[in-house]
A = this chain, B = another copy of it.
Amino acid sequence: MTEQAARRPATQVTAVLRSAGLRVTPQRQLVVEVLQGAGARHLTAEDVYREVSERYPGFNRSTVYRVLDLLTSSGVVSQHRLGGSVAHFELTGAGVHHHLICVDCQHVFDLDGAELRELGRRVQRRTGFAVGQVAVTIEGRCAACRSGASG
């Protein structure tokens, strides 16, 4: 690791890992930092790899997958399949994960989860299904594409 990592408050990242019961390694810190930096955006493993490689050239692709997998099963990170074949990742806790995907521009919009939490509760009551993660993916055309295109 270089001193680069020190540019962000490492203590916070460290705390995230420790509280999940995970060992703290430079690689894991970097992955968490990159995900933090992405905010509400959804990164693919390749996205993470690219960003992380800029700061740490030796970083290996399989390590990205292993770290993302570990973080996912620890609940630190949420994984989504947004319709396509590639997985997307984002830090858990950035709200509930609902997505609007525009079939034209492929852009992913986030949808506020408030009214959807209510949905989860209703489902649980009716089906006895202990609702964990609710992932809503809505395909359609965004306002911009609708006004710009023929539709």
Contact = CB atoms under 8 A, between A and B. Distances in A.
Interface of A: 81, 83-85, 87, 100, 102-103, 109, 111, 115-116, 119-120, 122-124, 127-143, 146, 151
B103 A132 contact: yes
Contact of A128 (B133, B134, B135, B142): B142
A84 to B, nearest CB: 8
Contact of A141 (B115, B129, B139, B140): B129
A56 to B, nearest CB: 27
Nearest to A99: B135
Contact of A132 (B81, B119, B124, B140): B140
The 6 closest A-B pairs by CB, nearest first: A128-B143, A81-B81, A132-B140, A130-B141, A131-B140, A133-B139
